[in-house]
Amino acid sequence: MINKKLEERINYQINRELYSEYLYLSMSAYLENNGLAGMANFMRVQAQEEHFHAMKFFTYVNERGGRVVLDAIEQPPVDFESPLAVFEESLNHEKIVTDLINKLMDLAIEVNDHATRSFLNWYVDEQVEEENSFQTIIDKLELVGGKGHGLLMLDKDLGLRVFTPPVAE
């Protein structure tokens, strides 16, 4: 049976991961609407990743005899200033998520829950990848000044991303 406080915090995390899915879908819609189908694809795949993150927590709570409680998902922003602003907001959002994962880990350590600590390691590693992925795109966008031929080249590259569910460990 999982610690009650941990269960509550994981339920909150499920809501944050589902909000992340919503946020990236909203960004995808904005990018699509602005002629950047490749970047829109990248964000759609990112949204799928966030759904996976949420469901991984969902399954874990059930496996530990806890109770999943789903809360309302807030509305994400609809409009953004530019493609660069989209990726900057994504990176800022991921930093907040990283902080939440770290706080979950702190709690798992505090209540001496070794299984949850082990489970959370996957998310700790995943957050390093997520932040790096957005930072790399921001760097490239800055390099090309966020417009012109460079922007279209980057859009083409990001159109190649496909969702690959991580192998169950």
Q: Which residue ranges make up the site for ligand FEO (CB under 6 A)? A: 17, 20, 50, 53, 94, 97, 130
* CA nearest to 19, candidates 59, 73, 70, 93: 73
Nearer CB in complex with ligand FEO: 44/53: 53
CA angle 103, 105, 106 (to 5 degrees): 60
Least separation in angstroms between CB 13 and ligand FEO: 9
Least separation in angstroms between CB 123 and ligand FEO: 7
Specify the residue for token string 């999982």.
2
Least separation in angstroms between CB 50 and ligand FEO: 5
Q: Nearest-CB residue to ligand FEO?
A: 53
Cα dihedral 101/102/104/107 (nearest 10): 180
Nearer CB in complex with ligand FEO: 107/151: 107
d(CA 163, CA 144): 26
Least separation in angstroms between CB 139 and ligand FEO: 18
d(CA 75, CA 4): 28
Nearer CB in complex with ligand FEO: 9/144: 9
Lookup: tokens for 48: 């799928």
Nearer CB in complex with ligand FEO: 91/144: 91
